[in-house]
Structure 1
Amino acid sequence: MASPSKVDPVREDGKVIVQFRNAGSAPVLAQQKFKLPANAKFEVATQLLRSKLGLTPQDSLFLYCNSAFAPPPDELIHDVAQCFHVGGILVLNYCTTPAWG
């Protein structure tokens, strides 16, 4: 019996699909999935989300992988996706108050 193939979260175009899911009272995004460069730092995901939510730099924003782990801003999206992707998609939960950890 053949084993299932391992899904690579990095697409042929060098991007990772990131899906943002709100938690708590954080607003829901109209568009939840985005393609981000795999070689970009994780802070790019945070900046994109801040922009889409209309948050200022002073507003609190927390991002989590697997509802538990908060990646550091200088971690590469590729590395986070390799460890935490689900079916080739990096799912990030976000909230405006600390929810997990």
Structure 2
Amino acid sequence: MASPEPNVRTLPSAWSSLDGGDVMHEAQEALETYKKKDASKVVMRFKAVGNAPIMKQNFYKISASNRFQLVIQFLRKELGWKQGDPLFTYINLAFSPAPDDTVANLFKAFSTDGHLIVNYSTTAAWG
């Protein structure tokens, strides 16, 4: 019988068990939790900066599980701007979020008075 290779280690039994071990069960639960969409809503407040037009209504609710890209698309639609028209968005007058950031993460980190403030402009306003 050949001996195992010297640099190859075997996994502990809990990891190598595919018959429903605790670790596998916990990993499956974590994966299922991650797959579920967050059904909660986030209140967003839109504020114009510079010469950007002011919206008639500036408070909206959006699903927390949505990406910020959807917020940008919604803002373009509400303002009547085309895809090529310049639009710059900022959170709390500080930074421009990435389009793939989730609304929930932005809200958890940067909410003010129970809502997420999104500033928008036609020109670059900050860094």
Q: What TM-score does the superposition give when structure 1 sets the normalisation length? A: 0.86
Residue 39 of structure 1 aligns to a residue whose secondary structure is coil
- 1:68 deviates by 1.6
Structure 1 runs of 4+ with >2 Å offset:
none
Q: Deviations over 1:31-88 (max 9, x none)?
A: 1010011000001111110000000000010110121210000000000011111011
| Bigger fraction of residues in helix | 2
Return the alpha-carbon distance in structure 2 between the equivalents of residues 45 and 33 of structure 1. 12
> Which structure is richer in relative contact order (CA contacts within 8 A, separation 6 or more)?
1
Residue 126 of structure 2 aligns to a residue whose secondary structure is coil
Return the alpha-carbon distance in structure 2 between the equivalents of residues 35 and 70 of structure 1. 20
What is the aligned partner in structure 2 of residue 19 from structure 1? 45
| Bigger fraction of residues in strand | 1
Matched residues, percent identical?
A: 39
Match status 1:39 vs 2:65: yes
RMSD of aligned alpha carbons: 0.8
Residue 107 of structure 2 aligns to a residue whose secondary structure is helix
Give, as a single letter, the amino acid of the residue that structure 2 aligns with 1:57.
Answer: Q
- 1:28 deviates by 0.2
Return the alpha-carbon distance in structure 1 between the equivalents of residues 126 and 93 of structure 2. 6
Q: What pairs with 1:56-95 in structure 2 (closer than 5 Å)?
A: 56-95=82-121
Residue 94 of structure 2 aligns to a residue whose secondary structure is coil
In the alignment of these two chains, the number of paired residues is 89
Match status 1:99 vs 2:89: no
Name stretches of at least 5 consecutive residues in structure 1 with no aligned partner: 1-12
Return the alpha-carbon distance in structure 2 between the equivalents of residues 68 and 100 of structure 1. 7
